[in-house]
Amino acid sequence: MTRQQDPSPIYIVSGGTGASGEQLVRTMLVQFPESEVPVHTVPHVRQVQQVEEVVAQAAVTGGTIVHTLVDAHLRAALIRLSDEGSVVSIDLMGELLSRLAGVLGKEPIGHPGLYRHLHQTYFDRVAAIEFSMAHDDGMNPEDWPEAQVMLAGVSRAGKTPLSMYLAVLGWKTANVPLIPELPTPPELFKLDRGRVIGLHIEPGQLLFYRQQRQHRLRAPGLSTYTDPEAIYEEVEAARRVFRQGGFSVIDVTDKSIEASAEQVIEWMTRRFG
């Protein structure tokens, strides 16, 4: 039986990040779930030499070029070089730009990445949410130095809700639980201590929250998770970690997420601008 030839790659050429072209290509590729097509994004194309290099590579690999170049000179060069090299190139921008120029009676300004520049706050917010979701509950500690805020605290102290709230406001936030049976992750003490915030909660309120959760999970009965004495010791152990690391501490007892987030942002802004 003859092995089926691997699909030829697709090269996405853009003057910006290439995100829009890549999203469109991948949206189409999901219609072919059994085919694994290599997709290579070539961003920030500013010189004809870059165009020449990607066309040459596509010619060797039998690839297809999909481009979103708004610079008319570069777009024309890519189309010409593709024709000369017998490379298939698909222009996602040119025809529509020409149509809009005719309808509006104006020439496009040809500024690559302009949409992303004008909507950078939105993209930063999405990136912060994705980061915070990927670094919830102590996950991926190798990436913790990238966090703008690191929250630490015992279980049910409100780390995840506060992380997500800060992320929606554009802050890349990670969080780590402090568990009595486990050693504190050493990566926590390697971070800039000014970015680490300890969440303290009074034992009585923590007991109430945990009893509520235990009831929702239909797991009645006494355990160290809801044992008042064990909870007191757990809270004190967390306070020792905060002192050891020299971390700032927010008392979240009877405090809303909004108020806690406001305090975190105030500290971060004052410390790091």
Indicate if 98 and 171 belong to the same structural domain. no
Q: What pLDDT score was predicted for residue 53?
A: 97
Q: Which domain holds residue 155?
A: 120-272
Q: What pLDDT score was predicted for residue 4?
A: 55
* 8 A C-beta contact, residue 135 and residue 144: yes
DSSP for 187-256 reads: HHHTS-GGGEEEEE--HHHHHHHHHHHHHHTT--S--TTT-HHHHHHHHHHHHHHHHHHT-EEEE-TT--
Q: What pLDDT score was predicted for residue 119?
A: 57
Evaluate whether residue 1 is within a structural domain.
Answer: no
Indicate if 131 and 260 belong to the same structural domain. yes
Among candidates 158, 131, 147, 187, which has minimal Cα distance to 250? 158
Enter the DSSP assignment of 182. Answer: S
**Which segments in the chain show pLDDT lower than 50?**
1-3
Evaluate whether residue 48 is within a structural domain.
Answer: yes
Regarding pTM above 0.95, the answer is: no
Last residue of a domain, one of 56, 82, 117: 117
Q: What pLDDT score was predicted for residue 216?
A: 80
Q: What pLDDT score was predicted for residue 177?
A: 97
Last residue of a domain, one of 102, 117, 132: 117
Q: Domain with 188 in it: what CATH number?
A: 3.40.50
How far is residue 177's CA from residue 154's CA, in Å, rounded to a whole number?
5
Evaluate whether residue 3 is within a structural domain.
Answer: no
Indicate if 55 and 141 belong to the same structural domain. no
Q: What pLDDT score was predicted for residue 115?
A: 56
Last residue of a domain, one of 117, 142, 173: 117
Number of structural domains found in the chain? 2
Q: Domain with 25 in it: what CATH number?
A: 3.40.50.2300
